[in-house]
A and B are shown apart, each in its own frame.
Chain A
Amino acid sequence: MTKYVVRRLLGAVPLLIGIATIVFFAVNLAPGDPASYFMAPGMTQEVVEQMRTNFGLDDPVPVRYVKWLGSMLTGDFGFSFSHSRPVLDVLTTFLPNTLLLSACALSLAFLFGIFLGTLQAVRQHSAFDSATSVVLLFFYSMPSFWLALMLILTFSLFARNVWEWPVWFPASGMTPTDYDFLSFGEQVRARFMHLVLPTASLALVLTAGIARYMRTSMLEVIRQDFVRTARAKGLSERVVVFKHALRNALIPIVTLAGLYIPILFSGSVFIEYIFAWPGLGRTIVDAINTRDYPLVMGGSFFFATMVVVANLIADLLYAVVDPRIRYERT
């Protein structure tokens, strides 16, 4: 097991270098000048040249690549133009917000997905099964950004202005404008209310995928001999399903977690953009729009690293939960 962990960790290193390379060349081979961020219309050519020299943009691209990779290794991601702070600083400021949103969405999605999938499998071919399948496929086919807009339309705008529901959810930001003046209890409530819609729009699409997967996995397990044995012992159906079958059906779902992390992050870009959520995805999109080259490169690399780490954790978890798997041989 230790050997496997070490091998996987070592394997991640060339992967990360490769990703850094893709990021660098995707950004630097594109037309456009990083120094343009600081250029004013009235600047003379000498000032521009001086600026390019100061930024090290005079060097040929391969030299810049080596320099960039070298400073990345020492943890120096560069300096963000638009935030006027080190890139790493910017990223770590926004990271917790993205993690909060992703964690809420992921745990809700897994909870509901596993529950629905299990119920469907237990009642295979029933009206419930087919109805749920259609509804889930509907959500599965939905772009998360559109779902987010529809949720805002229904539970924020129409609920508040047209139907005048007693409860409606805020559609943007993480906190209300008067957050600092609220009591602690109200602050918690305000944060929760702001979290509901973004989480729901991320989680609903994920739930659909997980439930579909869970149904297949559960159907395979439920036909196995040990389940029949459990039933023959006279255990109640509830114990058979939720204790004996569910545990085994969950094993492939663990790998799904690793698979869903990139999807989750991609989804969170849209969700953060729509809900004005101060997270990583939104920061990177903003950085791209303002041509903040260091932040784009640093942010993309950071994002990719998180995906790699998440995949690694999922693989290791898989080894932990399924003792049948041996990792000693290649």
Chain B
Amino acid sequence: MPWSTRAFAMSGPERVRWPTRALALGVWLGGLWILVTRFGRVRAALLDGALDDRLAVVTLALTLVVPAIWGWRVSRKPERQKRAGVSQWDLAARAFSKNRTAVAGLVIIVLLYLVALLTPLLAPFDPAFQGDLVNERYVGPSAVHPLGTDQFARDVFSRLLYGTRISLVIGFVSVGISVTIGTVLGAIAGYIGGVVDGLIMRVVDMVISFPTLILLITIIAFFQPSIFLIVAVLGLTLWPNTARIVRAEVLSLREREFVQAAVALGYSKRRIILGHLIPNALGPVIVASTLGIGQMIVLEAGLSFLGLGVQPPTPSWGTMVADGRNVLLGAWWLSTFPGLAIVFTVLSFNLVGDGLRDALDPRLRT
């Protein structure tokens, strides 16, 4: 396989640097490892699996195919053709890739998403599988149960893996909702101004000065907690920040020549806002939403901790921390490991967010 040796060579004249190669090789080898060790499960999932089982198989196939194709292409064309111009996004990407901690955060996030998708193949146990309640409750970390077992003799490691999905999905979707609402409202407020601006910004003030957690607890406690409600409610909490950022950006963009040109060309307000203002205000929004995903993950974990989040038996990191709360002394691993998972996930998002802020702000680029 000449392509693989060349593509994954750790040195060479190619422009792709070694961390990227290492990641590609790691993902490829990891995929291979899963395929070999979990072959029975892969076949079962393919033959009669649920949706997430099939999704896991598709992801597995991608982890095997994508790095290989990528490596083949890199080995074929060692020097890529230089483009004539360099865009702002290219500059930002270059600045970002020089920031080692931020890249490390990004790598962790990519791996986390892979783990979340591959969980049905990866997890050693079913997350709801209860072992021998007499002998296997509260067993400390061991070879069989790397992170111990909980009060129903369930494997903490498997539950941790399944919990990854809840955190990542809730973080991502709720921030997506927030950012969409916030961007549109902020742009409208900033561009149209006047009464509309006043009205939107007063609502923003109101929601911002409200203790988010109390509002969330109130809404969720009085309705039935479900994953959809949580995503929706979390999505409704972060948008004021986005709205403020976008409005401030739009206020300064509004006076720029390209916007005036668009007005002179007779474009509609909708077209100017969606096509000209929002794309140019996206930088700070991307930063805020990356940091926001971290906040949402913490918030979701907090709600689950209070018993208002994802309902058992669905494993969620917050619920797992809460499960260990009353047996801290006897079974410290129950609360500790899910919490560490939260910390490292949020840390990665914060690292990437910080890196993006430095990369997207031309003044901070060096």
Contact = CB atoms under 8 A, between A and B. Distances in A.
Interface of A: 14-15, 18-19, 22-23, 26-27, 30-32, 134, 137-138, 140-143, 145-146, 149-150, 152-153, 157-158, 161-162, 262, 265-266, 269-270, 273-274, 284-285, 288-289, 296, 299-300, 303-304, 307-308, 311
Dominant SS among interface residues on chain B: helix
A32 B224 CA distance: 10
Interface stretch (B43-51, B181-189, B327-335): B327-335
B210 A32 contact: no
Given A300-B214, A300-B218, A142 B206 contact: no
A141 B210 CA distance: 22
Interface of B: 101, 202-203, 205-206, 208-215, 217-219, 221-223, 294, 298, 301-302, 305-306, 318, 321, 324-325, 328-329, 332, 335-336, 339, 342-344, 346-347, 349-351, 354
Contacts of B209: 15, 19, 262, 304, 307-308, 311
Given A18-B202, A32-B222, A157 B213 contact: no
Given A140-B350, A266-B211, A304-B211, A30 B328 contact: no
B222 A262 contact: no
Given A141-B298, A296-B218, 7 more contacts: A18-B206, A26-B215, A141-B343, A149-B328, A153-B335, A265-B211, A304-B214
A26 B202 contact: no
Given A15-B205, A141-B350, A152-B328, A146 B339 contact: yes
A87 B326 CA distance: 31
Contacts of A303: 211, 214
Contacts of A161: 329
Contacts of B302: 143, 145, 270
A295 to B, nearest CB: 11
20 contacts: A19-B209, A27-B218, A27-B222, A31-B222, A31-B223, A137-B354, A138-B347, A141-B344, A145-B301, A146-B321, A146-B335, A149-B321, A262-B210, A266-B211, A274-B325, A288-B221, A300-B218, A303-B214, A304-B210, A304-B214
A314 to B, nearest CB: 11
A266 B218 CA distance: 13
Contacts of A143: 298, 301-302, 305, 318, 339, 342-343, 346
A296 B219 CA distance: 11
Contact of B339 (A149, A284, A304): A149
Contact of A19 (B210, B301, B306, B329): B210
Most buried by A among B210, B223, B349: B210
Most buried by A among B101, B218, B343, B350: B218
A18 B210 CA distance: 10
Contacts of B217: 269, 284-285, 288
B360 to A, nearest CB: 16
Contacts of A27: 218, 222
B329 A26 contact: no
Nearest to A259: B208
Contacts of A158: 329, 332
Given A26-B215, A303-B211, A270 B305 contact: yes
A141 B329 CA distance: 25
Contact of B214 (A134, A141, A162, A269): A269
A81 to B, nearest CB: 15
B223 A22 contact: no
A29 to B, nearest CB: 9
Nearest to B349: A141
A272 to B, nearest CB: 12
Contact of B203 (A18, A32, A162, A288): A18
Nearest to A157: B329
Nearest to A307: B209
Nearest to B307: A289
Contacts of A22: 206, 210, 215
A137 B347 contact: yes
B69 to A, nearest CB: 35
Contacts of B223: 30-31
A288 B318 CA distance: 19
A266 B305 CA distance: 14
A108 B349 CA distance: 27
Nearest to A266: B213
**A-B pairs, 4 with minimum CB distance:** A30-B222, A146-B339, A266-B213, A141-B346
B327 to A, nearest CB: 10
A19 B215 CA distance: 10
Contacts of A152: 328
A150 B306 contact: no
B219 A30 contact: yes
A303 B217 CA distance: 13
Contacts of B324: 149
A153 B332 contact: yes
B55 to A, nearest CB: 28
A19 B211 CA distance: 10
A270 B339 CA distance: 15
Most buried by B among A32, A146, A289, A304: A146
A80 to B, nearest CB: 16
A288 B214 CA distance: 10
Nearest to A134: B101
A229 to B, nearest CB: 24
B198 to A, nearest CB: 11
Nearest to A270: B302
A18 to B, nearest CB: 4
A71 B327 CA distance: 46
A102 B238 CA distance: 24
Contact of B343 (A23, A138, A265, A289): A138
A289 B210 CA distance: 20
Contacts of B351: 137
Contacts of B347: 137-138, 141
Nearest to B345: A141
Nearest to A14: B202
